[in-house]
């Protein structure tokens, strides 16, 4: 009888742990996936999908008028038996999320300054990144894309500086060219976020020949 009772308790404990695990997965915010790696023209290009874009606690910040920044860092690595090799310097793209001027929609502004409005926060967005020149790839080697996405808030002063640097200030048409590289590299580091959530992933390993023949 004791053996049956002990076994039942163990099963109940395992079921409870499994439920907690599944619930945590269901609530996990900010998922990132590498959809493809290809070489249109002369560039190696990857398409990244950001899912569950804005967790509930960050939605409340947006409702209060706060600005969020989405930082997407992508790298192409060559897979090696001992030490993998970084093929290109990391590419970082920063997106700005906030309420539209009307206050009734959500505006997402890309690094080029183009803004798209949505009625509600989209469940996912695609991010296309050109990683580097295709001539750096060798058909016989294997490669993978490593991506880290971080969503968070910055101090007000830093947010203004990043906004001006990435999107250009009102009175400074050359803001992107002159300050963008400096400020984005310093102010948009993950450690500079006041509050943030991150997701990380790697693509499957692809032969260089497979990447190079994909248009």
> What 3 state SS string does 186-204 have?
HHCCHHHCCEEEEEEEECC
pLDDT digits (tens, 9 = 90+) for 84-115: 999 999 999 999 998 887 778 899 999 888 98
Q: What share of the chain is helix, strand, coil (3-state, %, to 5)?
A: 35, 40, 30
- Mean pLDDT per segment of 10 residues, for the chain of length 215 residues? 44 39 46 95 95 87 87 96 94 90 84 89 92 95 96 64 48 43 47 79 96 89
Pick the closest to residue 94 from 124, 73, 76 (CA basis).
Answer: 73
Residue 126 neighbours by CB under 8 Å, 6+ apart? 35, 47, 48, 49, 50
29: three-class secondary structure by DSSP: coil
Bridge partners, 150 (sequence order): 71, 198
pLDDT digits (tens, 9 = 90+) for 147-159: 999 998 875 544 4
Question: Which domains are delineated in the chain?
Answer: 29-154+193-212 (2.60.40)
CA distance 115 to 180: 18
Bridge partners, 33 (sequence order): 49
pTM: 0.72
pLDDT at 201: 96
pLDDT at 190: 55
């Amino acid at each position: 009888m004791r053996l049956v009772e002990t076994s039942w308790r163990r099963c109940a404990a395992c079921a409870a742990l499994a439920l907690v695990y599944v619930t945590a997965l269901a609530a996990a915010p900010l998922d990132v996936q590498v959809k493809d790696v290809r070489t249109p023209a002369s560039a190696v290009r990857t398409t990244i999908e950001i899912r569950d874009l804005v967790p509930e606690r960050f939605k409340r910040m947006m409702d209060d008028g706060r600005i969020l920044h989405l930082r997407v860092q992508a790298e192409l690595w060559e897979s090696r038996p001992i030490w993998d090799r970084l093929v290109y310097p990391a590419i970082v793209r920063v997106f700005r999320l906030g309420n539209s001027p009307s206050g009734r929609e959500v505006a997402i502004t890309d690094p080029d300054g183009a803004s798209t409005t949505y009625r509600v926060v989209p469940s996912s967005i695609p991010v296309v990144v050109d990683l580097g020149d295709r001539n750096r790839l060798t058909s016989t080697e294997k490669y993978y894309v490593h991506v880290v996405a971080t969503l968070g808030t910055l101090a007000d002063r830093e947010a203004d500086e990043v906004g001006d640097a990435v999107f250009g200030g009102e009175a400074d048409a050359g803001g992107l060219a002159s300050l963008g590289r400096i400020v984005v590299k310093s102010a948009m580091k993950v450690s500079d976020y006041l509050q943030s959530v991150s997701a990380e992933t790697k693509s499957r390993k692809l032969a260089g020949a497979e990447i190079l023949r994909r248009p």
